[in-house]
Amino acid sequence: MVRLLLGRLAGLVAVLVAISVMVFVIFNVIPGGDPALRLAGRHPTQQNIRQIRHDWGFDQPLYTQYFDMMNHLFIERDLISYQDQTPVLPAIRRGIPRTLSLAIGAALIWMIFGITIGVLSGLYQGRWLDRVLTVVALAGVSIPIFWLGAVMLYVLTYKYHSWPIFSWIPPGGYVPFTQDPAGWATHLFLPWITLAVVSIGFYARVVRNSLLDTRHQDYVRTAKAKGLSPSRVLVRHTLRTCLIPVVTLFGLDFGAVVGGTVILIEPIFGLEGVGQYAQESVAHLDLPPLMALTLYGAFFVVFFNMLADLTYLWLDPRSRTT
């Protein structure tokens, strides 16, 4: 187990190194991204540009520049952006609680609703809930998520905002949990729903199908034959196994949300988390923050994937022997 864990951690580091090289190459080898021109301001002289190139180390060989950037990112931790010369790490640190608030809240909503609906529709297979679920799951994976957020924001906080049931929804922004827990929740309500809606249907379908598969397994029949109550068979024997694929899926998804999807949601709701920082850096073609943010995103993707694998080993006794 320890050996497995160490192996996976080494793999994680290797992937991050490879990704950092890739991002660096993408931005440096392809022509046009010369940051010196941008740093020099509107009417630069040749001498100005040469000076900046020298000061920022753009005249060094590429590998020196790469190690320099990694040094500033991980060891000295004082990487600054090309665009406005502000430090990158404090901006990310400021964004992380916002992004995690968004992702964790949405994940809770989609897991609770997804599993409940999935189990119900598996138990009542073929009934109306089951049919509705198929449609909802399909719509969920087919809506452009940023569009859903934009339209919900418009309808609930502008068009029908005067309706008493919607008037408490604020039009975007973020309030820290430590300052005002109620305000934190109301401000995150719409982003949570937006992010959860696209997943609830899909998760419910996975739970449903997995439940239908496990219900007829031999060990479930044995449990029934032993005379256990139906609810005990369902919870201890059927559910435990049928949630395994959900755990793996969740690991992949949570990493992908924290490391990627937030870039589409945060700007809509003005949450100013890591995703919005990424979106702004993209708009300015700003390499240092994009480098840090890509590594941050990749870390989440790989880390949660690893976590999902380990949970799988723990949940499914069969997988440990092979």
Partner 1 sequence: MIDSPPVAAGGFRTALRRLRRNPAAIVSALVLLTIVFACFPGAPLWVSHACNHGPSDQNIQGTITENGHKVPVVKNDGTPIGPGLRACYLLGADSNGRDLFVRILYGGRISLEVGFISAIVCVTVALVLGILSAYAGGMTDSAISRLLDLIWSFPVYLLAVALATAFAVHGIAVGPIHVASTSLAIPIVVIAIVYVPYVARPIRGQVLSLRRMEFIEAAVASGAGPVKIMLAELLPNVASMALVFLTLIVATNILTEAALSFLGVGVPLLTPSWGNIIEQGYQTIVTAPWLTIAPGLAIMITVVSLNVLGDALRDALDPHARLRIRQ
Task: Give the orientation angle of helix 2-29 with respect to helix 62-70, to 10 degrees.
Answer: 130
| Binding of residue 251 to partner 1 (CB under 8 A) | no
| Binding of residue 81 to partner 1 (CB under 8 A) | no
| Binding of residue 141 to partner 1 (CB under 8 A) | yes
| Binding of residue 293 to partner 1 (CB under 8 A) | yes
Number of Cβ within 10 Å of residue 316's Cβ equals 13
CA angle 286, 38, 288 (to 5 degrees): 25
| Binding of residue 243 to partner 1 (CB under 8 A) | no
Nearer to partner 1, 223 or 292 (CB): 292
Closest CB 191 distance from partner 1, rounded Å: 14
| Binding of residue 31 to partner 1 (CB under 8 A) | yes
| Binding of residue 297 to partner 1 (CB under 8 A) | yes
Buried b (16+ CB within 10 A) or exposed e, 3-27: eeeeebeeebeeebeebbeebbeeb
Piece in contact with partner 1 (CB under 8 A), picked from 85-93, 182-190, 285-293, 311-319: 285-293
| Binding of residue 235 to partner 1 (CB under 8 A) | no
Residues 181-220 that bind partner 1 (CB under 8 A): 198, 202
| Binding of residue 87 to partner 1 (CB under 8 A) | no
| H helix runs in the chain, sequence order | 2-29, 35-39, 46-56, 62-70, 88-123, 128-142, 145-154, 181-214, 218-225, 230-232, 240-242, 244-256, 262-269, 274-284, 287-315, 317-321
Residues 92-121 that bind partner 1 (CB under 8 A): none
| Binding of residue 30 to partner 1 (CB under 8 A) | yes
Cα dihedral: 279, 281, 283, 287 (round 10):
-130
| Binding of residue 263 to partner 1 (CB under 8 A) | yes
Binding residues for partner 1, rule CB under 8 A, total 51
Nearer to partner 1, 146 or 177 (CB): 146
Q: Does residue 35 contact residue 287 with C-beta atoms inside 8 Å?
A: yes
Q: How far is CA 232 from CA 116, 240, 241, in A?
A: 17, 11, 13
Q: Does residue 294 contact residue 23 with C-beta atoms inside 8 Å?
A: yes
| Binding of residue 261 to partner 1 (CB under 8 A) | yes
| Binding of residue 142 to partner 1 (CB under 8 A) | yes
Which residues here bind partner 1, judged by CB under 8 A?
A: 15, 18-19, 22-23, 26-27, 30-33, 138-139, 141-147, 150-151, 154, 158-159, 198, 202, 249, 252-253, 255-257, 259-261, 263-264, 278-279, 282-283, 285, 290, 293-294, 297-298, 300-302
